[in-house]
Amino acid sequence: MEKIIVLDFGGQYNQLIARRIRECNVYCEVKPYTMPMEELIEMRPSGIIFTGGPNSVYDEKSPHYDPKILDLGIPILGICYGSQLIAYMGGGKVETAPVSEYGHTEVEVDTSSSLFGGVSEKTIVWMSHTDYIAKAPEGYRVTAHSKVCPVAAMECAEKKIYATQFHPEVLHSREGMKMLRHFAIDICGCKGEWRMDSFVEKSIAELREKIGNGKVLCALSGGVDSSVAAVMLSKAVGKQLTCVFVDHGLLRKNEGDEVEAIFGPKGAYELNFIRVNAAERYYEKLKGVEEPERKRKIIGEEFIRIFEEESKKIGAVDYLVQGTIYPDVIESGLGDSAVIKSHHNVGGLPDVVDFKEIIEPLRMLFKDEVRRVGLELGIPENLVFRQPFPGPGLGVRIIGEVTAEKVRITQDADAIYREEIAKAVQEWQDQHAGRSDLEYAVTGPDGKVELRRHGHDELPPWMPAQYFAALTNMRSVGVMGDFRTYDYAVALRAVITSDFMTAECSDIPFAVLQRVMNRIVNEVKGVNRVLYDLTSKPPGTIELE
Find how far residue 420's CA is from the centre of its chain. Answer: 26
> What is the C-alpha to C-alpha distance for residues 84 and 57, in angstroms, rounded to an integer?
7
> What is the C-alpha to C-alpha distance for residues 116 and 144, in angstroms, rounded to an integer?
9
List the catalytic residue out of 169, 360, 369, 545: 169
Q: 171 exposed, middle or buried (CB, 10 Å; 0-12, 13-18, 19+)?
A: middle
- H helix or E strand, kind and range, residue 255: helix 255-263
Q: How far is CA 429 from CA 386, 422, 463, 465, 516, in A?
A: 19, 11, 11, 17, 19
Phi, psi angle pair for 136, to nearest 5°: -70, 150
Closest listed residue to residue 24, CA positions, set 149, 182, 143: 182
How many CB atoms sit inside 10 A of residue 280's CB?
Answer: 10
Under a CB-based contact definition with an 8 Å cutoff, are residues 399 and 545 in contact?
A: yes
486: three-class secondary structure by DSSP: strand
359: three-class secondary structure by DSSP: strand
Find how far residue 285's CA is from the centre of its chain. Answer: 29
How many CB atoms sit inside 10 A of residue 459's CB?
Answer: 11
Under a CB-based contact definition with an 8 Å cutoff, are residues 114 and 182 in contact?
A: yes
Under a CB-based contact definition with an 8 Å cutoff, are residues 488 and 409 in contact?
A: yes
List the catalytic residue out of 23, 101, 167, 175: 167
Beta bridge partners of 247: 277
Under a CB-based contact definition with an 8 Å cutoff, are residues 80 and 133 in contact?
A: no
Question: Is the Cα dihedral 127, 132, 135, 138 positive or negative?
Answer: negative
List the catalytic residue out of 24, 80, 188, 243: 80
Instruction: Check whether the bond before 539 is cis (ω within 30° of 0).
Output: yes
- H helix or E strand, kind and range, residue 39: helix 37-42
CB neighbour burial string for 357-387, b if at least 16 within 10 angstroms, e if fewer = ebbbbbbbbbbbbbbbbbbbbebeeebbeee
Instruction: Assess whether 169 carries a catalytic annotation.
Output: yes
Catalytic residue IDs? 80, 167, 169
